Amino acid sequence: MKIRKANVHNENELITNVYIYENKQQEYSLIAIPEIEWSTIIPYEEERVVLKERLSDTLSKRVQQSAAEELTNKIAHWVGEM
């Protein structure tokens, strides 16, 4: 498991830790942000455009739109590195 520092502002709070668990055998990554009670599974084969749209949609239900966009871009980048 990896812990990435997001440091994204959402209203009066700072979202700091994003937890990334990679399961190479089953070819997916599990992403969790406990501070906003959010998580998702990202299959390796998911297209980047589809991934960013899905992340943005689900994150915007938990945080402001600007924070959702920033988190989406960071998560997509981190998952792409793996």
Q: What 3-state class would DSSP assign to 45?
A: coil
For residue 27, the enclosing domain spans 2-81
Q: Which residues are bridge partners to 80 per DSSP?
A: none
Read off the pTM: 0.93
Q: Dihedral sign for Cα 9, 10, 16, 21, please.
A: negative
d(CA 63, CA 58): 9
How many separate domains does the chain show?
A: 1
Q: What are phi and psi of 71, to 5 degrees?
A: -65, -40
What string of pLDDT tens digits covers the 82 residues of the chain?
A: 999 999 999 999 999 999 999 999 999 999 999 999 999 999 999 999 999 999 999 999 999 999 999 999 999 999 988 7
Gap between the Cα atoms of 61 and 79, Å rounded: 21
